[in-house]
Amino acid sequence: MAQNDKLILASGSPRRVELLAQAGIEPTRLMPMDIDETPKRSEHPRSLARRLSTGKAQAALAAIKGDPAYAGSYILAADTVVSVGRRILPKTEMIDEASSALHLLSGRSHRVFTGVCLITPDRTVRQKVIDTKVRFKRLSTTDIERYLASGQWRGKAGGYGIQGIAGSFVVKLVGSYTNVVGLPLYETLTLLSGEGFDVHAGWADA
């Protein structure tokens, strides 16, 4: 892609890479940051999404400090949190976690918060938290068992990925679809362009 601005994505999420590619943007480097994602006591889901995205961006900034190859880079980080009320659902790694999350989401509305943090070349920090409301159909035992067998829940906030089979569970969605996938494109590109990143540079080759 004909893109001169350097963008470090502080994530290893294939979904976020794919969403940026959809918008014609190719990160210069992927830097997944391993930080403690444990919610604080009584922490609101929105606050958690903001804190984790900022923490990942700042960790990436610390990792490139003093490296001339990444001088002048933009650093982008995001973190997605799924909640029912104030209850934060985990990023499911175990099948029992996913089963519990799907039973909880069945027939109910939940919210998806994605915190987006951008650190500019002059080290200004810009943040947004995007909120999408999603309602699932009532899931049958077969729906849940077969979805668990698919493995598409693994590592996903709330135990599902809307871009896969679980998209068929959605009765209603209010807000940004790409936010639920893991990176709200409109808001992310608005942040980037507002800070001087040329979001159009790769469009001819996209």
| Residue of 5, 34, 67, 79 with catalytic role | 79
Amino acid at 111: R
Helices of type H across 26-91 = 45-64
Q: Is 79 one of the annotated active-site residues of the chain? A: yes
User: At a CB cut-off of 8 Å and minimum separation 6, what does 74 contact?
Assistant: 5, 6, 7, 8, 118, 119, 120, 121, 192, 195, 197
Q: Extract the tokens encoding 103.
A: 């039973």
Structure tokens belonging to residue 165: 């089979």
Beta carbons within 8 Å of 77's beta carbon, 6+ residues apart: 9, 10, 11, 33, 53, 54, 56, 57, 60, 116, 117
Residues annotated as catalytic are 79
